[in-house]
Amino acid sequence: MNLYWSQELELQAVEQQVAADEARPEWSLAAELGVGRTKRAEAPLTRIEQFGLTTLDAINALAKSGHYAQVLTVLYAAIDTMAWSSRKDGDVTRQDFIGWVDKYMDPQRSLPCTPEDLYAARCGVLHSGAAGSRLSREGKAVELWYVTAATSTADLESFMKKKGVNAKVVSATNLVAAFGAGVLAYAEDLAQDQKRQAEVEKRIGQWLTFIPSAAVAAEAAKKK
């Protein structure tokens, strides 16, 4: 019970919610393209925006297949990547993650948790596939449990109360939406500061790029 409310009631709700989520703007790449880009709608997508949209595309595919644990894995790793990109150099830290989440995802407004809770959840999911982490065990953050259907929140909260579990219930859909909005807010922020945008572009030049083998062969042929 660390991650998902898995009673039959919830499983039925998941089937209904997956169908409903396909029509929700949070899961729609086309809709995400239009959110937050009104000031420069004519501009091509930046690499940050492209990363956000391809991440949402991957999450969408996983959610449609019912792979919600993997949705969380991809999501928290993507937030790590965004936080890393905001640094001038060095490895991403806890404070980088918390700072990026606080500024761009604003979870205390859009989600029932704090940036610290999300960082602790990230540690639990990425390191062990569980809700608990060292921070939650030490009382420095509260565990996050997830629902895929908002109608299941009350059932899960009732279950946790009966079991004496101290955790917060988060909608996976709302969490994904907060990430999408955060990436676009980050991109807009960078667009207002050319120096910082150049620094970020240089840093993300280190990202892995997958190139078709035919293109590699063609380039190698040119150099012969």
| pLDDT tens by residue, 135-193 | 999 999 999 999 988 888 899 999 999 989 999 999 999 999 999 999 999 999 999 99
d(CA 210, CA 217): 14
What confidence score (pLDDT) does residue 15 get? 41
Closest by CA to 126, choosing from 176, 67, 169, 74, is 74
User: Looking at the predicted structure, is the pLDDT value of residue 25 above 50?
Assistant: no
CB 179 within 8 A of CB 79: yes
Enumerate the domain spans of the chain. 8-222
Closest by CA to 51, choosing from 178, 177, 197, 184, is 184
User: Looking at the predicted structure, is the pLDDT value of residue 22 above 50?
Assistant: no
- Segment 61-96, tens digit of pLDDT: 999 998 999 999 999 999 999 999 999 999 999 999
CB 48 within 8 A of CB 186: yes
Report percent pLDDT > 70 for the chain: 81
